[in-house]
Structure 1
């Protein structure tokens, strides 16, 4: 039986991941933690999974820092980043921290299960969109991108719209209805907003953005 740990601060997304894993044979979820810090505590208690599915943008401690610290203590632990961020800079940061793969949360169940098997066999599963960028880097065609300073990256027009509706007290589903987009797309926009503004909640984002 392959033991899986899930680190995901969004309860619904954590459940979605668990549901995907339920379709696989010989897979069991050992635990679910909401941030990197509590995941490290679970590891320190001796609850070591075979593969850790790690989100990136989380409160208290993000997934990349948690990966770095976890690999320092448990070098044989396999960590697979599972995120909405199709960002090559985050990919390279995660790999440098010790991650064994990088997939987007929209990955289909069978591909996620295959990626877990691949990681256990020493492979490096990557989302197709990012695998091509890594290949270009290895060929010397591109350089590793650098991230802008925290808070300096501008929000897109759509991200501003999402934040404006959030400021009015609307829930994710209501925002989706207003903008004619899915709940999943709203969550993706929110994670991008949190990452760009270096915050961990909608309230913090609204305060930091100001909306003067």
Structure 2
């Protein structure tokens, strides 16, 4: 089995070491890159392989997470980026999602949640920590927020079932979890997601979520 290549971009040495140690416990993950900010990351990418998934801090001194995410997706559109944040640090969260990030997690997540999120994002999911998913939903509900997903659906002509899949995606559920909620197969959910991406003119779950979140602006 091919291992998932992961890169970590985090400027706090203690947090970086903690996350690195958590990921090293997985036999399915290969840690190939560790940078302290966006500037350092792009220097390293000149001489090393590009990871499949990046774990990205938002607040960094030299080239923050939003800018780094945007530039990464422009240069390497196939990579997946998971934003790392703290409980009260969501000021740039949605900017990062709009820039191309596929999900967001709290930095202190337990090991199995962090590892599962890396797997989920490669399978088309948009993993979120429950707390951060709750924040997203709260923002979507503010001032007729619930209608914002419906507005996207109408403009893209999503079916009722596709709209349901989209709402669960915004809540941070992966393909398997959505299939369990809707009592359908994983294959059916993936097919719905393909149709959603086509209708929203996006390439994946992160962009789809970003399009919904973008309606809040």
Which TM-score bucket, shorter chain as reference?
0.5 to 0.7
Equivalent of residue 71 in structure 1, options 70, 73, 76:
73
Query: 2:15 is matched with which residue?
Result: 13
Q: CA RMSD in A?
A: 1.8
Structure 1: 5+ residue stretches without partners:
144-212
Note the C-alpha offset of 1:94.
1.0
Please list, as runs of the form range in 1=range in 2, the aligned pairs for 1:25-174 lying within 5 A after superposition.
25-45=27-47, 47-139=49-141, 141=143
Q: Separation in 2 of the partners of 1:61 and 1:88?
A: 17
Q: Deviations over 1:96-132 (max 9, x none)?
A: 0100110011100000001001111111111111212
Shift of 1:68: 0.7
SS in 1 for 2:83: strand
User: Distance in 2 between the 1:62 and 1:91 partners?
Assistant: 12
Looking at structure 1, the residues matched to 87 and 142 of structure 2 have their Cα atoms a distance apart, in angstroms, of: 23
Cα pair distance change 1:97/1:44, threshold 3 Å: farther
Q: Is the 8 A contact 1:55 1:81 kept in 2?
A: yes
Alignment partners' CA distance in 1, 2:9 and 2:107: 12
Q: Provide closer, same or farther for how the CA distance between residues 142 and 99 of structure 1 changes in structure 2, counting only shifts above 3 A.
A: farther
Does the CA contact (< 8 Å) of 1:56 and 1:82 recur in 2? yes
The question of whether the paired residues in 2 share the 8 Å contact of 1:4 and 1:51 is answered with yes
CA shift digits 1:158-179 (9 cap, x unpaired): xxxxxxxxxxxxxxxxxxxxxx
Q: Where does the alignment leave 5 or more consecutive residues of structure 2 unmatched?
A: 146-217
Aligned equivalent of 2:201:
none
Distance in 2 of aligned mates of 1:81 and 1:104:
8
Deviation at residue 140 of structure 1 after TM alignment: 5.7
Q: 2:101 aligns to what SS in structure 1? A: coil
Aligned residues: 143
Q: Decide whether the 8 Å contact of 1:86 with 1:104 is kept in 2.
A: no
* Paired residues of 1:79 and 1:101 also in contact (CA < 8 A): yes
TM, length-normalised to structure 2:
0.61
